[in-house]
Amino acid sequence: MKVLGEKLVSFASLIEDETVEQARQVASMPFIHGHVALMPDAHAGKGSSVGTVIPTLGAVIPAAVGVDIGCGMIGVQTDVLAAEVVLDLFALSNQEEEL
């Protein structure tokens, strides 16, 4: 992981300047909760970078959803139950608050 700013990190080994600039603009918004994270497959999109995790508090960014939805994703059947995923997400959420 590489820290690119106070509220921006990247997990990408190669990333274009335009992608980073889009993420910097998103990370500067006042309702960003925690930090914006660029995933290894991040690339420039229309309005926001594709492959970006954008946690918000009290806000939804419609342009951050659907700018290349499903890019690089596949559906896989697993034996994991929905309740287990919810518990894991809850645990992760609590960990971030402690940081």
Q: Which residues are known binding-site members for Mn(2+)? A: 68
Q: Which residues are annotated as a binding site?
A: 68
The residue assigned the tokens 């919810």 is: 86
The structure tokens listed for 27 are: 């990370």
Q: What are phi and psi of 69, to 5 degrees?
A: -60, 135
Q: Is 38 within 8 Å of 52 (Cβ atoms)?
A: yes
